[in-house]
A and B are shown apart, each in its own frame.
Chain A
Amino acid sequence: MQNANEMESFRSDVRAWVNENFPTSLQGVDLAGIAGGESGAKADDDVKVGLDAWRQKLAEKGWGAPTWPVEYGGAGLSDPQADIIGEEIHNAGAYNPIPHMTGMGVTMVGPTLLEYGSAEQKARHLKGIASGEIRWCLGLSEPNAGSDLASLSTKAEDKGDYFALNGQKVWTSGAHISQWCGALVRTDTDAGKRDGISFVMLPMQQDGVETRPIRLISGISPFCETYFTDARAEKGDLLGNLNDGWSVVKRLLQHERQSQTGGRGVSMLDSEPLHVKAQRFVGTDDSGALVDKDLRQRLVRNYMDGTAHRLTAQRITDEAAGRVEVSAAASILKNSNTRFAQQKAELALEIMGSQGIGWSGDDFAEEELGIVREWLSGKAMSIYGGSYEVQNNIISKNVLGLPETTQKG
């Protein structure tokens, strides 16, 4: 669409703008942690003021969601242009906080709204997401509906001009700090398992909604149990058709897999290359090779897996340019990224020896403690967004065309 010269000129414009506008007070701050609302990351006042100013500037450009139409708070740009914005913000040592500040807004809710939302719904919800002002959570999983999501039992009763929701959701990311929720609810108990489900949107600040953060093995609480007791969702906030919520959520989860195939913003695991860490902790022989030959082979396998994943993601992007079908490729990439990232964290821990069991305090460097927490939180990668095994079911059925392996009602 755009030629190389236009892209280069776009890139230099972006670079100049970022350098001019990224506040110096935010240099080197863990903005991902702060924007993501993580309990461990505390921001002082300077940072808060700087972050809000930076957010507003990005929002004015429409760069919170650059590919969305301008009328909905985006910038109407192409995917390659959006990539350039991301790269230049990263290269400048800056960070785009809007996706994290909106919870599931920019990555999942917004793209699904763009496809399934009425003009009125898009006009009402998208700008708040693109500007980073409204944080969204998703009420999908339930205590008895994890990988088998369609067995959910939270009910939405038709009350004329609104639905009354009753039931419990779990693993609701950021529910305690979100303003809005997209919830998957049962609207027809007589229909087949996947046929009686609808997708509704509702505000979190109301009497019928209660959230309880869940403390995880990594010590943080990004997820909640969310209870609906006659919670109110307006009829106008039904996304897609009544009882057709399963097709909405399938699309939503494809966006989730897409957003999970890269890394997250700042990682302590990336503060130094693993082989450098290994040279520091394990030592090298006269030729400069790691003395632990077994570790060296496993390290290089992990490096190769990472490179293979990145090359494949790039190849699939190139292949899919101009096409919309993302499901098959995205399924492969989620597992390959998970394997690579979990293995990488395990290697980091192994390399650090007993420094890798530190929980808190001055005996451990901040980086070491960060790695331990990331090792633990990373165990969720093969569970959320469709577990490792569910991904393999999807690949074998949808990509390879093998018969369904499990019975579904």
Chain B
Amino acid sequence: MAALTEEQSILKDQATSWVEAELPVQKFREFRNANSDGGFDPKAWSAMVDMGWTGILVPEAYGGSDLGYLTFGVILEQLGRQLCASPLFASAYVGASAINLGGSDEQKQQWLPAIVDGSEILTLAVDEQPRHQRDAIACAAKASDGGFVLSGAKTFVPEGMSATAFVVAAKSDAGDVELFLVPANTTGVSRSGMATVDNRDYARVTLSDVAVPAESHLGAMSGGELYEQVLNRACAGVAMEMLGVGCFSFEMTLDYLKTRKQFGKVIGSFQALGHRAAELYSAQEMARSCAEAGVIAIDNDADDQAAMSALSKAKTGEFLFDMSNQLIQIHGGIGMTDDYDAGFYLKRARALEALYGNQALHRDRYATLLGF
């Protein structure tokens, strides 16, 4: 993996051992069995807050540790391995990115410390249709009485039922997609939960003539630039979680190849399966390089960070798609049973594939960014 500083290594080790001890996939199973409408365990979430993970992207002046995107990505990877459910990514990664990049000093003062201490849970409300498309935003933000009136409907909003505030993507009078901070209890905001295969918290959010003050607009970057940058960062973060989901799927599969016997031999001794494992391993290593390069490009403020973000989401997507299918296939019958964890990984894999655009969308973006 990428070279880490001592501080990053310590955090990674802490995350790895905490996730394995406190929030293994068995906990996800228990939670799912008890809560079929999705969500996360609040105790696990407050433990993450206590460990300071909510402050990784937040400047020290606002109560965070400002350790950057690779550090956050490494934690997302560990959480992905055990399918840990929490609003950490939606709030402390995507939400914090939006405010860091687009917020005024006052907005940062108001929101960032609250993200860090967990008293506010932010989430980006962007999609309005089942297929993510960056420019398909109909939700309108009309200037009115010195503020804005937002109207529209959002769907598949991650952590949408537990969020205390939405970062709403809406089209300004000038036709640019801008971001607005809308507390969930604002008059005119309503939401309802959606039951999904990955048993996470998703909501439909309706905005009916929601009046918000001028200071709800994240205006430090104009002309739709903030929206693009926040989505680019979000995609690189999703890629790191996908990497964790895929790597653990690979390890489960490899372990099974070494222990399951048929025809008097472990099945990993069959060349067809040995070669399949070799191809998956190669895809995993390529995916890791791309996922890490995505978050490192943000930390370095690299000129090509938009392309690297698209690359990271597309290549980890390619790996995880194949890996999650082979996870089921190689496990055979047991992989089809709900008692076994493989299905959880397949389901989460597809939810993450669709989130903020699938492989094809990011290949299209990559080509466009490279000029063809």
A interface, CB within 8 angstroms of B? 275-276, 278-279, 284, 288-290, 296-297, 299-301, 303-305, 307-309, 311-312, 314-315, 318-319, 332, 335-336, 389, 391-393, 395-397, 399-406
- Given A311-B293, A395-B278, A401-B258: A275 and B370 within 8 A (CB)? yes
User: In the bound complex, do residue A396 and residue B367 qualify as a contact, i.e. CB atoms below 8 Å apart?
Assistant: no
Extra contacts, 12 of them, besides A288-B372, A300-B367, A312-B285 (Cβ < 8 A), are A297-B360, A299-B367, A299-B372, A303-B370, A308-B289, A318-B2, A392-B274, A392-B275, A392-B279, A400-B268, A400-B274, A400-B277
**Is B271 part of the binding interface, using a Cβ–Cβ cutoff of 8 Å?**
yes
In angstroms, Cα B33 to Cα A72, docked, is: 69
Cβ contacts A to B, 20 pairs, < 8 Å: A278-B372, A284-B372, A290-B372, A297-B367, A303-B366, A304-B314, A308-B290, A311-B289, A312-B288, A319-B1, A389-B275, A395-B278, A395-B281, A396-B274, A396-B275, A396-B278, A397-B274, A401-B258, A402-B277, A404-B269
From A393, which residue of chain B is reached at the shortest CB distance? B274
Q: What is the interface of chain A mostly: helix, strand, loop, or mixed?
A: helix
User: In the bound complex, do residue A403 and residue B265 qualify as a contact, i.e. CB atoms below 8 Å apart?
Assistant: yes
**Is B333 part of the binding interface, using a Cβ–Cβ cutoff of 8 Å?**
no
User: In the bound complex, do residue B372 and residue A332 qualify as a contact, i.e. CB atoms below 8 Å apart?
Assistant: no
In angstroms, Cα B268 to Cα A176, docked, is: 44
Closest chain A CB from B346 CB (angstroms): 22
**Is B171 part of the binding interface, using a Cβ–Cβ cutoff of 8 Å?**
no
From A311, which residue of chain B is reached at the shortest CB distance? B289
Across-interface contacts of A403 in B (CB, < 8 A): 265-266, 268-269
User: In the bound complex, do residue A296 and residue B254 qualify as a contact, i.e. CB atoms below 8 Å apart?
Assistant: no
From A284, which residue of chain B is reached at the shortest CB distance? B372
Closest chain A CB from B151 CB (angstroms): 30
Closest chain A CB from B302 CB (angstroms): 13
The 4 closest A-B pairs by CB, nearest first: A396-B274, A311-B289, A275-B372, A395-B278
User: In the bound complex, do residue B271 and residue A315 qualify as a contact, i.e. CB atoms below 8 Å apart?
Assistant: no
Across-interface contacts of A307 in B (CB, < 8 A): 290, 311
**Is B363 part of the binding interface, using a Cβ–Cβ cutoff of 8 Å?**
yes
User: In the bound complex, do residue B286 and residue A308 qualify as a contact, i.e. CB atoms below 8 Å apart?
Assistant: yes
- Given A308-B290, A312-B286, A395-B278: A297 and B363 within 8 A (CB)? yes
Q: How many residues of B contact A (CB 8 A)?
A: 40
Across-interface contacts of B278 in A (CB, < 8 A): 391-393, 395-396, 399-400
Q: What is the interface of chain B mostly: helix, strand, loop, or mixed?
A: helix
**Is B292 part of the binding interface, using a Cβ–Cβ cutoff of 8 Å?**
yes
User: In the bound complex, do residue A311 and residue B366 qualify as a contact, i.e. CB atoms below 8 Å apart?
Assistant: no
**Is B257 part of the binding interface, using a Cβ–Cβ cutoff of 8 Å?**
yes
**Is B315 part of the binding interface, using a Cβ–Cβ cutoff of 8 Å?**
yes
Across-interface contacts of B286 in A (CB, < 8 A): 305, 308-309, 311-312, 336
Closest chain A CB from B288 CB (angstroms): 8
Closest chain A CB from B222 CB (angstroms): 24
**Is B282 part of the binding interface, using a Cβ–Cβ cutoff of 8 Å?**
yes
Which of B266, B282, B290 has the most chain A CB within a 10 Å cutoff? B282
User: In the bound complex, do residue A318 and residue B275 qualify as a contact, i.e. CB atoms below 8 Å apart?
Assistant: no
Closest chain A CB from B148 CB (angstroms): 31
In angstroms, Cα B277 to Cα A406, docked, is: 16
Across-interface contacts of A319 in B (CB, < 8 A): 1, 3
In angstroms, Cα B3 to Cα A389, docked, is: 31
User: In the bound complex, do residue B372 and residue A296 qualify as a contact, i.e. CB atoms below 8 Å apart?
Assistant: yes
**Is B262 part of the binding interface, using a Cβ–Cβ cutoff of 8 Å?**
no
Closest chain A CB from B359 CB (angstroms): 9
User: In the bound complex, do residue A300 and residue B366 qualify as a contact, i.e. CB atoms below 8 Å apart?
Assistant: yes
User: In the bound complex, do residue A402 and residue B268 qualify as a contact, i.e. CB atoms below 8 Å apart?
Assistant: yes
Could you give, for residues 238-267 of chain B, a 1 whenever the CB lies within 8 Å of some chain A CB and a 0 otherwise?
000000000000000010011000000110
User: In the bound complex, do residue A304 and residue B372 qualify as a contact, i.e. CB atoms below 8 Å apart?
Assistant: no
User: In the bound complex, do residue A289 and residue B372 qualify as a contact, i.e. CB atoms below 8 Å apart?
Assistant: yes
Across-interface contacts of B3 in A (CB, < 8 A): 318-319
